[in-house]
Amino acid sequence: MKRHRAAAALTAALLTLSLAACGGGKAAPTEAVPETPSAESFGTAVQVRRVGAESISTENKVSGRVLAEDEATIMVGISAKCVAVYKEAGDAVRKGDVLCKLDLASTLSQYNASQIGYESAIQSYNDQKALFDQQIAVAEKNVSVAEEQISVTRKQIEVNEQQIPVTEQQIAVQEQQIPVLRNQIAVQESQIPVVQQQIEAAEEQLAAGEAQVPVLEKQIALLDPQIALAQKNVSDTEALFQMGAASQTELDNAKIQADQAAFGRDQLRAQLANTEAQLNSSRAQIQQSKYSIEQLRAQIQQSNYSVEQLQAQIASSKFSVEQMRAQIEQAKFNLTQLELQRDNAKLSVSQLQSTRSSTLAQLEAGIENARSGVQQLDSVLEDVDGDGNVIAPMSGTLVTFNAVENSYVSNAMPVAVIHGETEMKVTASVSEALVPKLSVGDSADVYVSALDRSMTASIRSVERAANAQTRLYTVTLTLAEPSADLLAGMFADVTFHTDRVSNAIVIPSEAILTNGDTRYVYVAVGSKAKYVEVQTGLTGAGVTEILSGLDGGEYLITVGQTYVSDGADIRIVGGL
């Protein structure tokens, strides 16, 4: 019992010292949490840590390699004898320095011949291509012309086929007009005898009237003396009446006789005037009838001419219909010929294109063969001048040099490797899952085991095409503070930070326990352990993001959590 009390006192003393160290002699910041863990309780000894928010990211560690920023590897693609050596490994060289001399007389001669063959192959290709293109253009033009002619011919056929019914309708109308005109002619011819009869009747009336005029004139002439005698009798009877020798009745009778004679003469004169008027009317009627006959004869002549014209038009229209039908047949025949010409032209285009493709493919193969030969020799002579001198392509340090005088250089290994005078870089290969998450400018951590040194770097470039063999993507990084101790070829561990989250609830990964798919932690509430299930997110740098279960401010059990259960007594021995 005394031993337990002594242990409790010692624990309290250690807790007091721990709290003083964490808080500068002040009490632990427990006011923000209602149930603060107690160091005075008895139970399983644990350490706790206040849960808070901070940034977290996923760590992706890959292997990398330190390389010189500028490096030149000199390869000679053939086996050649080295006749002179002017440098050795470790020498500082300048761009353009002669490193050694090779015997390449036959290779240079072969290169010149290959270059001529390559240029000749290109010229032959261009000439054949131009010729084929010209022939194809002519054939395509023939197709186009045939298509245009086919279109015009089809239009002509369509127009003629539409015109034939119209013309035939016109013929039918004209044929219907001919009987009408002939009927008119018959009517007009039948009217002429009638008018002639009218003329004859009018002439007879005219003759009778002309014979009656002298009779009337003679009768009028005979009445004049009678009237004069009757007027004299009236004058005499008036004189006698004045003298009383004649009676009033006698005077009246005399006047009546005189008036009757004058009235008779007036009637005859009126009859004469009427007869003369009738004569004039008959003469005018005769003249009008004669004119009508002339008109009828003219109309008959015109109608006969119209009939002849209609007959001529009908004949012409029928001939036009026959011509149009013949034109349609000829156009259809021409259309067949044009379509055949078009199809032949298309076939010619197709054949020319096929021939062009196969011929140019053969020529391209020849060009590729010639180019391959030239390129192979170019690679052989890339850093070699016309005299066989191997030239330094850049300034730097000759770190590898495999040329030995009077020995042969091989195409299996570089003649020389030169490291430039600039800084080092780091390259790493990443998977297709990681490469989309990397961007130029992102920071990364680089650890070089040979120097036991960590450095910060930034991504300079990310290749967008995978290596054909490894299917990995190359990422190049620039070191923020390069070290003079870095040497090309050193291996490095590169850690990329992705999926960054700011202000996240983060706890040590070791505090999380699992039971199947369930993840849980224990937090200290007073002197008790409390079971809390959590949902995790990102993991990196020994910490894990908590998506749910903890809100921040809790006292998380980080040591001893595997020895407690929900509601178990605990005593805090550190970590606050």
Please report, rounded to a whole number, the percentage of residues in the chain having pLDDT higher than 90.
20
CA-based end-to-end distance of the chain: 29
**For helices 105-243 and 248-380, angle between their N-to-C axes, nearest 10 degrees:** 180
Do 173 and 305 lie in a common domain?
yes
Listed residues 318, 347, 365: the one ending a domain:
365
Distance between CA atoms of residues 554 and 521, nearest Å: 11
67 backbone dihedrals φ, ψ, rounded to 5°: -130, 155
- Assigned token pair, 401: 């040099």
The answer to whether the beta carbons of residues 457 and 446 sit under 8 Å apart is: yes
Do 17 and 136 lie in a common domain?
no
The answer to whether the beta carbons of residues 475 and 462 sit under 8 Å apart is: yes
Do 167 and 290 lie in a common domain?
yes
Assess whether pLDDT exceeds 80 at residue 456. Answer: yes
User: Closest by alpha carbon to 494, among 554, 549, 444?
Assistant: 444
Assess whether pLDDT exceeds 90 at residue 522. Answer: yes
Q: Domain of 216: which CATH number?
A: 1.10.287.620
Do 436 and 356 lie in a common domain?
no
Do 271 and 131 lie in a common domain?
yes
Q: What is the mean pLDDT of residues 461-472?
A: 86
289 backbone dihedrals φ, ψ, rounded to 5°: -65, -40
The mean pLDDT value of the chain amounts to: 83
For residue 429, being part of any structural domain is answered with yes
For residue 96, being part of any structural domain is answered with no
Whose tokens are 């391209």? That residue is 364
Instruction: Kindly write down the DSSP assignment for every residue of 178-220, as one continuous string.
Output: HHHHHHHHHHHHHHHHHHHHHHHHHHHHHHHHHHHHHHHHHHH
Burial of 93 (0-12, 13-18, 19+ CB in 10 A): buried
Q: What are 528-567's pLDDT values in tens digits?
A: 999 999 999 888 778 898 999 999 889 999 998 899 999 9
Distance between CA atoms of residues 399 and 418, nearest Å: 6
Q: What are 32-65's pLDDT values in tens digits?
A: 333 555 545 578 899 999 998 888 877 788 999 8
367 pLDDT tier (thresholds 50, 70, 90): confident
Specify the pLDDT at position 169.
92
Do 353 and 431 lie in a common domain?
no
User: Closest by alpha carbon to 522, among 563, 556, 570, 482?
Assistant: 556
For residue 110, being part of any structural domain is answered with no
For residue 338, being part of any structural domain is answered with yes
Assess whether pLDDT exceeds 50 at residue 214. Answer: yes
Residue 564 sits in which domain range?
A: 2-69+422-574
Specify the pLDDT at position 33.
39
Q: Is 88 left (phi over 0), alpha (psi -120 to 50) or beta?
A: beta
Count other C-beta atoms under 10 Å from residue 63's C-beta. Answer: 10
106 pLDDT tier (thresholds 50, 70, 90): low
Cα Rg of the chain (Å, integer): 69
Do 173 and 294 lie in a common domain?
yes
Do 497 and 351 lie in a common domain?
no
Count other C-beta atoms under 10 Å from residue 237's C-beta. Answer: 22
Specify the pLDDT at position 179.
92
Find how far residue 220's CA is from the centre of its chain: 116
Count other C-beta atoms under 10 Å from residue 401's C-beta. Answer: 21
Task: Give 532 or 208, the one with higher predicted confidence.
Answer: 532
For residue 467, being part of any structural domain is answered with yes
Specify the pLDDT at position 354.
87
Q: Which of 106-120, 467-481, 482-496 has the highest mean pLDDT?
A: 467-481
What sign results for the dihedral spanned by CA atoms 259, 260, 261, 264? positive
Distance between CA atoms of residues 437 and 60, nearest Å: 11
Nearby residues of 412 by Cβ (< 8 Å), 6 or more positions away: none
Q: What are 478-505's pLDDT values in tens digits?
A: 887 777 677 777 899 998 888 788 888 9
Assess whether pLDDT exceeds 50 at residue 464. Answer: yes
Distance between CA atoms of residues 317 and 499, nearest Å: 92
The answer to whether the beta carbons of residues 429 and 469 sit under 8 Å apart is: no
The answer to whether the beta carbons of residues 335 and 154 sit under 8 Å apart is: yes
Assess whether pLDDT exceeds 80 at residue 433. Answer: yes
Specify the pLDDT at position 345.
86
Q: What is the mean pLDDT of residues 419-448?
A: 85
Question: Given the DSSP bridges, would you call strands 408-409 and 570-574 parallel, antiparallel or unpaired?
Answer: unpaired
Specify the pLDDT at position 31.
35
Distance between CA atoms of residues 560 and 566, nearest Å: 13
Assess whether pLDDT exceeds 60 at residue 86. Answer: yes
Do 167 and 244 lie in a common domain?
yes
Q: Domain of 451: which CATH number?
A: 2.40.30.170
* Cα dihedral 144, 147, 153, 156 in deg (nearest 10): -90
3-state SS assignment for residue 140: helix
Task: Enumerate the β-bridge partners of residue 570.
Answer: 44
561 backbone dihedrals φ, ψ, rounded to 5°: -70, -20
Listed residues 365, 380, 396: the one ending a domain:
365
Do 352 and 439 lie in a common domain?
no
Q: What is the mean pLDDT of residues 313-330?
A: 91
98 backbone dihedrals φ, ψ, rounded to 5°: -85, 125
For residue 79, being part of any structural domain is answered with no
The answer to whether the beta carbons of residues 296 and 192 sit under 8 Å apart is: yes
- Assigned token pair, 474: 């190359």
Domain total in the chain: 2
Specify the pLDDT at position 15.
39
Count other C-beta atoms under 10 Å from residue 218's C-beta. Answer: 11
Assess whether pLDDT exceeds 70 at residue 378. Answer: no
For residue 235, being part of any structural domain is answered with yes
For residue 477, being part of any structural domain is answered with yes
Do 466 and 356 lie in a common domain?
no
The answer to whether the beta carbons of residues 391 and 96 sit under 8 Å apart is: yes
The answer to whether the beta carbons of residues 503 and 52 sit under 8 Å apart is: no
Assess whether pLDDT exceeds 60 at residue 2. Answer: no
28 pLDDT tier (thresholds 50, 70, 90): very low
3-state SS assignment for residue 551: coil
Q: What are 140-173's pLDDT values in tens digits?
A: 898 899 899 999 999 999 999 899 999 989 999 9
Do 225 and 342 lie in a common domain?
yes
Assess whether pLDDT exceeds 70 at residue 1. Answer: no
pTM above 0.75, yes or no: no
